[in-house]
Amino acid sequence: MPPAVTPKRLRERRNLRTLLRPLEELARGSQHLFTAHLELTDPTATGAIGPYPHQRITLPRFLFAGPGSGGASFLRLGIFGGLHGDEEATVLGALAFLEKLHAQPEIARGYELFVYPVGNPTGFADDTRWSRSGVDLNRQFWRDSAEPEIVLLERQLVNLAFDGIIALHADDTSPGLYGFVKGHALTRHVLEPALTRASTVLPRNFDRSIDNFEANAGIIEAGYPGVLSAPPAQHPRPLEIVFETPALAPLDQQIEAHTLALEEILLRFRAVISEGQSI
Ligand SMILES: [Zn+2]
Domains assigned to the chain: 7-277 (3.40.630.10)
- pLDDT band at residue 40 under the 50/70/90 scheme: confident
Tell me which DSSP letter residue 123 carries: H
d(CA 27, ligand 1 centre) in Å: 28
d(CA 86, ligand 1 centre) in Å: 8
The answer to whether residue 164 scores a pLDDT higher than 90 is yes
pLDDT at res. 278: 56
d(CA 169, ligand 1 centre) in Å: 4
Section 96-101 average pLDDT: 98
d(CA 90, ligand 1 centre) in Å: 9
Residue 119 identity: G
d(CA 154, ligand 1 centre) in Å: 18
d(CA 65, ligand 1 centre) in Å: 27
- pLDDT band at residue 277 under the 50/70/90 scheme: low
Phi, psi (degrees; rounded to nearest 5) at 252: -65, -35
Phi, psi (degrees; rounded to nearest 5) at 179: -160, 165
| pTM for the structure as a whole | 0.91
d(CA 130, ligand 1 centre) in Å: 10
Nearest residue to 45 (alpha-carbon basis) of 37, 35, 56, 34: 56
CA distances from 136 to 38, 125, 226, 247, 259 (A): 20, 15, 10, 17, 25
Section 57-67 average pLDDT: 95
d(CA 226, ligand 1 centre) in Å: 13
The answer to whether residue 15 scores a pLDDT higher than 70 is yes
Section 17-34 average pLDDT: 95
Phi, psi (degrees; rounded to nearest 5) at 84: -100, 120
Question: Comparing 33 with 223, which gets the higher pLDDT?
Answer: 33
Q: Is the dihedral of CA 131, 132, 133, 134 positive or negative?
A: positive
- pLDDT band at residue 155 under the 50/70/90 scheme: very high
pLDDT at res. 9: 54
Q: Rounded CA gap, 204 and 238, in Å?
A: 25
d(CA 260, ligand 1 centre) in Å: 19
pLDDT at res. 210: 96
Section 150-171 average pLDDT: 97
d(CA 110, ligand 1 centre) in Å: 29
d(CA 72, ligand 1 centre) in Å: 34
Of 33-47, 54-68, 80-94, 261-275, least confident by mean pLDDT is: 33-47
d(CA 30, ligand 1 centre) in Å: 31
Nearest residue to 80 (alpha-carbon basis) of 36, 113, 123: 113
State the chain's mean pLDDT as an integer. Answer: 90
d(CA 120, ligand 1 centre) in Å: 11
Section 183-209 average pLDDT: 94
Please give the helix or strand (H or E) that residue 56 lies within, else none.
Answer: strand 56-59
Share of the chain above pLDDT 70, in %: 89
DSSP E strand boundaries for 110-218:
111-116, 164-171, 178-183, 209-210, 213-214
Residue-wise pLDDT for 201-245, tens only, equals: 999 999 999 999 999 999 999 889 999 999 999 998 899 999 999
d(CA 170, ligand 1 centre) in Å: 5
d(CA 265, ligand 1 centre) in Å: 19
The answer to whether residue 51 scores a pLDDT higher than 60 is no
- pLDDT band at residue 1 under the 50/70/90 scheme: very low
Of 10-19, 111-120, 171-180, least confident by mean pLDDT is: 10-19
Phi, psi (degrees; rounded to nearest 5) at 251: -60, -45
